[in-house]
């Protein structure tokens, strides 16, 4: 018996990389898995059910249950079909793991509207759609007096929490997902649903062009996507029922809880903008520095 025995889970973008590891570990721990993936390139172009089918084949070879879903998570109706497929096939839904994503990295001065829109759509709307349809299902169950012990696990990023040059589109989407997580947790708790997020760092197709592909073997092992799956699997389990509204920063080197925005040094407001120079300088000098990509104060 695994910690997710009998849990019905959707994992988006589960054909490769981090999502694949989620799906396999969930299955190992007893879950029934809807493996969603478009099978496209890292920029979102192309389409194939091959990667998702390969993961399903691996899961069924374990003696576990899984099905392929090829819907586009950023299409609202497609997200609804995916949720309904889980319900129709397995008889319910317990967990939605929003993992699907693409990259269209570009410096802000050169970024096109299409590059901005595509990344925001896949990451941010692709988190909203599956969550919205699943939440409606769980709300109706709760209103009918049926027990609900459900999970939403979203995927933010260090780029969204701390900021990374060349990723204004991706970072903005991932920061939005972190905020979405906090707010959705407040809204859905009454229905028996927890909402958390991870900010993973791993070596995948998405990150190999960011310099990780040239890392030595020891570093590559520490940055393997398999390190991300344990916290996600635990969050998907009944054991995590008291944890909600949190973002976990996770890699093969560390697991931590990211702390959100807090009001820092404060003073009385002034109505004269000409007098603000020394006041702002004092506030900034007293404030904690912004974090670097490792989550620590910039130096």
Q: For 39-48, what is the mean pLDDT?
A: 68
In tens, the pLDDT along 23-39 reads 999 999 999 999 999 98
For residue 139, pLDDT over 90 is answered with yes
Residues marked as catalytic: 157, 170, 174
Range of 167's domain? 8-258
Does residue 111 lie in a domain region? yes
Q: The domain that contains 193 carries what CATH number?
A: 3.40.50.720
Tell me if 228 sits within 8 A of 250, measured CB to CB. yes
In tens, the pLDDT along 103-132 reads 999 999 999 999 999 999 999 999 999 999
- Same domain as 276, residue 170: no
In tens, the pLDDT along 50-100 reads 899 999 999 999 999 999 999 999 999 999 999 999 999 999 999 999 999
Rg for the chain, CA atoms, rounded? 20
Does residue 276 lie in a domain region? yes
User: Which strands form 32-36's sheet, in the order they lie side by side?
Assistant: 66-69, 32-36, 8-11, 95-98, 150-155, 193-200, 247-250, 255-258
Q: How far apart are CA 234 and CA 220, in angstroms?
A: 24
- Same domain as 17, residue 58: yes
- Same domain as 269, residue 139: no
User: What pLDDT band is residue 270 in, cutting at 50, 70 and 90?
Assistant: very high
Instruction: Provide the number of structural domains found in the chain.
Output: 2
- Same domain as 68, residue 201: yes
- Same domain as 182, residue 143: yes
- Same domain as 251, residue 165: yes
- Same domain as 222, residue 283: no
């Amino acid at each position: 018996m695994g910690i997710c025995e009998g849990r019905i889970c959707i994992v988006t973008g589960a054909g490769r990389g981090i999502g694949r590891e989620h799906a396999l570990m969930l299955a190992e721990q007893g879950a029934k898995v809807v493996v969603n993936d478009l099978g496209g390139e890292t920029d979102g172009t192309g389409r194939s059910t091959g990667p998702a089918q390969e993961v399903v084949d691996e899961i069924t070879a374990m003696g576990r249950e899984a099905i392929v879903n090829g819907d586009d998570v950023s299409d609202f109706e497609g997200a609804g079909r995916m949720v309904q497929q889980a319900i129709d096939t397995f008889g319910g839904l317990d967990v939605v793991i929003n993992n699907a994503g693409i990259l269209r990295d570009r410096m802000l001065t050169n970024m096109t509207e299409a590059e901005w829109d595509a990344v925001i759509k896949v990451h941010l709307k692709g988190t909203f759609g599956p969550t919205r349809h699943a939440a409606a299902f769980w709300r109706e169950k709760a209103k009918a007096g049926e027990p609900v012990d459900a999970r939403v696990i979203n995927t933010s990023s260090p780029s969204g929490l701390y900021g990374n040059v060349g990723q204004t589109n991706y970072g903005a989407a991932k920061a939005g997902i972190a905020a979405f997580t906090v707010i959705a947790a407040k809204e859905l708790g009454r229905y028996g649903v927890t909402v958390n997020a991870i900010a993973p760092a791993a070596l995948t197709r998405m990150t190999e062009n960011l310099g990780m592909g040239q890392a030595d073997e020891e570093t590559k092992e520490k940055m393997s996507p398999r390190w991300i799956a344990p916290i996600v699997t635990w969050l998907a389990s009944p054991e995590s029922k008291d944890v909600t509204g949190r973002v976990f920063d996770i890699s093969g080197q560390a697991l931590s809880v990211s702390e959100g925005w807090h009001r820092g040094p404060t003073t009385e407001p002034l109505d004269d903008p000409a007098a603000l120079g020394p006041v702002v300088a004092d506030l900034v000098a007293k404030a904690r520095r912004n974090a670097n990509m490792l989550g620590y104060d910039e130096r």
